[in-house]
Structure 1
Amino acid sequence: MDSLTQVVLGSSVAALAVPGRHRRAALVAGGLLGTLPDLDVFWFSWAGSDVVTQVTWHRGPSHSLLVLTGVGWLLWWCLKRWSIPVREAPGRWLGAIWLALLTHPLLDAFTVYGTQLLWPLPMPPVMWSSIFIIDPVYTLPLLACVIAAWRMSPGRAAAGPDAARRDAAARRWLVIGVSVSSAYLAWSVAAKYWVDRVASHDLAAMGLQDAPRFSTPLPFNTLLWRVIVMAPDGYWIGDRSLLADRGKMRFTFQPSDRKALEPLAAVPPLQRLLWFTHGFVGVRTLPRGDGESRLILSDLRMGLEPNYFFRYDIAGLDAGGRWRAAPEIVRLPAPPDRMAGLGWVWRRLFDSDAQP
């Protein structure tokens, strides 16, 4: 999820875990800890990592529940020596630190990007894909309630009936924020389940019931969903609006030159990309201005056809007409009209016949 969401989620759960007199400190500390795992992007940039490393190792070790559990304990142990609030309520602060850290990768796992929850265990990234990476309906209740809780929380030195009343109000706001956002997340899982059921029924009629597929909400909502189904020579795309669509789900076919990847199967960066994407990629030939043809791999999980957010130049044709791996995989810049599809998303929510 986006950084603001992780900050307010970390603030909320940490502030709920500590005693009332520590609530403001926990709002700050939880926000900082909630965004800590995403600082791995700065490490990769500083280290000058190649694009495949940057993309596929983000949400890697820094998002591992195993790693973060140890980091949280170590941080708590250090803070016990230097922080008065942590010394006053060590058990509750350990819970606050763990909650702020661990809810970050767990929430990320509900998106389609992929999160390596159990690194270093050899398993593909988890992508439950029930919520878009940015969703205001999830974030705004948390943000509003964190602001309200900050304003209502009494300081550490406050005492008496008024302080108790203010603390109860602050806690109530935090409970409301976490409850509303959690209910929305549960709704996203239920909506995905329903869309998958519809897709399964209609794909069975097409003979594609066993084909690899995934479903994901389209940008900024959980009412419009996309299902992509892989085939040997391409992939099928189906959309489902929970507001506008009834009856069968319609799928359109997009060709993909998956066979072109066969001579490149032993290239480690390509293997890493295919592992990271669960194989949900499109492959097309793109002619360049100099007359050379390049093989372009698109991550089908993020973006709208044909403007996918992650596109890579992976190979070129040699003199014998065979694909040869590029010396280094290059990520292509996002298309200049990449935002044009957002207007279609809004129209498609309410109109089953809306065209991109």
Structure 2
Amino acid sequence: MDTVTHTLLGAAIGEAVLGKRIGRKAVFYGALMSNLPDIDALGILFLSDSQQLLFHRGITHSFFFVILISTILGWILKKKFKDSQTSWVNWMWLIIIALLSHLALDSLTCYGIGLFEPFNNEKISFNTIFVADPFYTVPILIGVLFPLIGKKSPEKTQKWNTIGLAVSSCYLIFAMFVHVYVWKVMHQSFKEQQLISDGFTVTPTPLNTFLWMGYSHDSNGAWIGYYSIFDKQKKIDFYRIQRNDSLIASFEKDIIVKNLKQLSKGNYIITKEDSVLYFNDIRFGQVSGWNKADGPFAFKFNLNKNADNKRALNRIKYKESTYEWFALLVNRIKGN
């Protein structure tokens, strides 16, 4: 999830766990702890672009990291606030819950997390929610910030905080049920059309859990389709894209390509634009695929030597008209 959501959720957790003991400082420490797993962003200082993509959401998003950091920081914070009635166990609970909230949210996105690192490098992803979803974030925002407006009693602060967490949690549960429903609808349509593949995945489109992308790859390419829960028809129009592995035949031993293939779990295609080869990770979706089948993919990694790929996951969005893109998205969510 995005940093804003992690920060707000951590702040809400801080208030819920230690608000009555240490006051508004709990909000600060909850927000701080919930962002600790993203310390792996510092990897950009000493890793190549492709290595950083693999390193991100790795060991700092694992159970190992949660246990280690919560133990150490719980002891440090207890020493720092030695005069308070907050015990080491209380601090540990705050840190553990804040860290686990970060891991839980990130595991629900398509990127996934290295939950069992360093013992297993497989990234776990449930494809349930987009990396930024205002329907989830706004209730937490209201629950955290409203009590800061004017003077509110601790009881009212706790009340608003609880309401924000409850509403956002209900939305998350709703998203999980929708995910299961959409998978069944799209997979059934896929089978009825007798399309062949190595698996089938559905993932939400940007900023919502109403419009979904379904995709399925094989050794030669992938099938992609879109479905809104407001669509009148349950027959999905899947279209075919070719993998084009022949374009990177000379790159097969290149460590960059190996890293990208591991990251994508085989969900990729290669495109060529003005003599530049791009590695496109299908899992992150298309910028406007719901409107046109040949919409560019959100993840485009330039395979040219010494190319700057620090924005590989955001390369396209800066070229699109935000208003036009959002209007197209809303219209497609409304259903066909």
The TM-score with structure 1 as length reference comes to 0.83
Secondary structure at the aligned position of 1:30 is classed as helix
> Could you tell me whether the CA contact under 8 Å between 2:19 and 2:27 is conserved in 1?
no
2:299 is matched with 310
- Shift in Å, 1:177: 1.3
Letter in 1 for 2:126: W
1:299 equivalenced with 2:281 (yes/no): yes
Secondary structure at the aligned position of 1:211 is classed as coil
1:334 is matched with 315
Secondary structure at the aligned position of 2:283 is classed as coil
- Between the aligned partners of 1:9 and 1:87, the Cα distance in structure 2 is 24
- Between the aligned partners of 2:251 and 2:229, the Cα distance in structure 1 is 41
> Could you tell me whether the CA contact under 8 Å between 2:74 and 2:89 is conserved in 1?
no
- Between the aligned partners of 1:223 and 1:44, the Cα distance in structure 2 is 35
1:46 is matched with 45
Deviation per residue, 1:101-154 (Å, 9 max, x gap): 221121111111221122112242111111111111100110110113445887
Secondary structure at the aligned position of 1:308 is classed as coil
Letter in 2 for 1:69: I
Instruction: Note closer, same or farther for the CA distance 1:197–1:230 as it changes in structure 2 (3 Å cut).
Output: same
> Could you tell me whether the CA contact under 8 Å between 1:110 and 1:131 is conserved in 2?
yes
1:187 equivalenced with 2:171 (yes/no): no
> Could you tell me whether the CA contact under 8 Å between 2:75 and 2:88 is conserved in 1?
no
Question: Given the alignment, which residue of 108, 121, 125 partners 1:127?
Answer: 125
Secondary structure at the aligned position of 1:88 is classed as coil
Letter in 2 for 1:284: T
Instruction: Note closer, same or farther for the CA distance 1:125–1:235 as it changes in structure 2 (3 Å cut).
Output: same
1:63 is matched with 61
2:211 is matched with 224
Secondary structure at the aligned position of 1:276 is classed as helix
> Could you tell me whether the CA contact under 8 Å between 1:73 and 1:94 is conserved in 2?
yes
> Could you tell me whether the CA contact under 8 Å between 2:21 and 2:86 is conserved in 1?
no
- Between the aligned partners of 2:222 and 2:200, the Cα distance in structure 1 is 9
> What residue ranges of structure 1 are gaps of 5+ in the alignment?
155-165, 289-293, 315-325
1:348 is matched with 332
Letter in 1 for 2:315: A
Instruction: Note closer, same or farther for the CA distance 1:99–1:287 as it changes in structure 2 (3 Å cut).
Output: same
Letter in 2 for 1:236: W
Residue identity (%): 24
> Could you tell me whether the CA contact under 8 Å between 2:212 and 2:228 is conserved in 1?
yes
> Could you tell me whether the CA contact under 8 Å between 2:17 and 2:94 is conserved in 1?
yes
Instruction: Note closer, same or farther for the CA distance 1:149–1:118 as it changes in structure 2 (3 Å cut).
Output: farther
Deviation per residue, 1:265-298 (Å, 9 max, x gap): 443332221121111111123333xxxxx43210
Equivalent residue pairs, number: 323
2:37 is matched with 37
- Shift in Å, 1:71: 0.6
Structural RMSD (CA): 2.4
- Between the aligned partners of 2:244 and 2:219, the Cα distance in structure 1 is 9
2:139 is matched with 141
Secondary structure at the aligned position of 2:319 is classed as coil
- Shift in Å, 1:220: 0.6
Secondary structure at the aligned position of 2:101 is classed as helix
Instruction: Note closer, same or farther for the CA distance 1:201–1:152 as it changes in structure 2 (3 Å cut).
Output: same
> Could you tell me whether the CA contact under 8 Å between 1:152 and 1:170 is conserved in 2?
no
- Shift in Å, 1:264: 4.0
Deviation per residue, 1:127-186 (Å, 9 max, x gap): 1111111111100110110113445887xxxxxxxxxxx222222222211111111111
Secondary structure at the aligned position of 1:18 is classed as helix
- Between the aligned partners of 2:86 and 2:162, the Cα distance in structure 1 is 23
Secondary structure at the aligned position of 1:180 is classed as helix
Q: Which moved more, 1:193-202 or 1:119-128?
A: 119-128
> Could you tell me whether the CA contact under 8 Å between 1:37 and 1:62 is conserved in 2?
yes
1:74 is matched with 72
Letter in 1 for 2:44: S
- Between the aligned partners of 2:20 and 2:150, the Cα distance in structure 1 is 11
1:160 is matched with none
- Shift in Å, 1:89: 3.3
The TM-score with structure 2 as length reference comes to 0.87
- Shift in Å, 1:237: 1.2
- Between the aligned partners of 1:223 and 1:89, the Cα distance in structure 2 is 44
- Structure number with the higher strand fraction is 1
- Which structure: larger Rg? 1
Q: Which moved more, 1:248-257 or 1:207-216?
A: 207-216
